[in-house]
Amino acid sequence: MSLITRCPACGTAFRVQTSQLAAHAGTVRCGKCGGVFNGVAALVEESDERLAFEPSPQLALFDPGRRSAQSAGGPSRNAPPSTLDFLAEPPAPRRWLWATAALIAALAMGLQVAYRFRAELAAWYPETRGTLRALCQPLGCEVPLPRRPELMSIDSSELQADSRREGLIVLNAVIRNRARFPQEYPALELTLTDEGDRPVVRRVLVPRDYLEPPRREDLLIHGIAPGGDTPLRVFLDTSRTPAVGYRLYLFYPL
């Protein structure tokens, strides 16, 4: 069914279909003055008296018949209704609302990524450590050193008896950081085995167990330097353990 709506700004009348009005909740744009209005609220009745339509010359490209009418002798008071441009996008306030929501979502996602990889970001870009710490403070989190066990290795290790005391053994090992950024010192799991390679004693050595006390705190703060290594020496009492072999590997506790 054809309806007629009138632009409240310039008074131009337009013939519309109900399906067109329903497409954008009745919101339309005037083809003459460009004003946005509610086409449903502006509906008028078509009486016996002809409505005066003011064709828009700017819309001649959209209505070839109008161009021919204008070239033949100008617009007529009884010409068909002017063309109504229906909105293909929401009005400006609604676009700003969507743009603001998208910006907030992007910022939230960026903060989540920064929180998840804060240790790696601080390692690769040391200048960001202060900013990351400031962001973590209200959240009660910290900016730790990276933990990449696949980039850490035990270059050498040996277990020897201490000649000065019976039952005392000495573990010597070298931990290497193969990453291009500093890393946290790992924990070590030492397993002593018997003649059948069965475990008889298992002990976990955390960094405070194998780092020397004079420099321990400084080493824990700065971690193992990129491409650097750390020698360690740990004494263990095995007077009550008949151990003949051992296994050693590094890991990061959860």
Residue 185 domain flag: yes
Residue 51 and residue 77 in one domain: yes
For 4, the 3-state DSSP assignment is strand
Cβ-Cβ contacts under 8 Å for 176 (sequence gap 6 or more): 152, 153, 154, 155, 228, 229
Claim to verify: residue 214 and residue 180 sit in the same structural domain: yes
User: CA-CA distance, 74 to 56, in Å (whole number)?
Assistant: 12
Enter the DSSP assignment of 25. T
Whether 239 is in a domain gets the answer yes
**Local confidence pLDDT in tens for the 254 residues of the chain:** 568 888 999 888 888 877 777 777 778 888 888 888 888 888 887 654 455 544 433 333 333 444 444 444 444 444 444 556 765 455 556 777 888 888 888 887 877 777 777 777 777 777 777 777 787 877 777 778 888 999 999 999 998 888 787 778 899 999 999 998 889 999 999 999 988 889 988 999 999 999 988 889 999 988 999 999 999 999 888 777 777 889 999 999 98
Q: Are residues 82 and 96 in the same domain?
A: no
Give CA angle at 225 (205, 185), nearest 5°: 15
In a shared domain, residues 13 and 61: yes
pLDDT reported for residue 61: 31
Q: Is residue 165 part of a domain?
A: yes
* Number of independent structural domains in the chain: 3
Please name the residue that has the structure tokens 């209704």.
81
Q: What is the pTM of this model?
A: 0.50
Any domain includes 144:
no
**CA-to-CA distance for 41 and 210, rounded, in angstroms?**
81
What's the first-to-final CA gap in the chain, in angstroms? 70
Same domain for 79 and 112? no
Neighbouring CB atoms inside 10 A of 132's CB total 19
DSSP state at residue 153:
E
Same domain, 115 and 175: no
CATH number, residue 241? 2.60.40
- Please indicate, yes or no, whether residues 247 and 156 belong to a single structural domain of this protein: yes
Domain containing 219 equals 149-251
Buried b (16+ CB within 10 A) or exposed e, 213-228: eeeeeeeeeebbeeee
Residue 180 lies in a domain: yes
228 and 166 in a common domain: yes
Same domain, 181 and 241: yes
- Partnered with residue 189 across adjacent β-strands are 204, 249
Q: Parallel, antiparallel, or unpaired for β 27-29 and 36-38?
A: antiparallel
Same-domain status, 155 and 238: yes
Cβ neighbours for 21, distance < 8 A, ≥ 6 positions apart: 3, 5, 28, 39, 40
The pLDDT value recorded for residue 67 is 40
Is residue 163 domain-shared with residue 232, that is, in the same domain?
yes
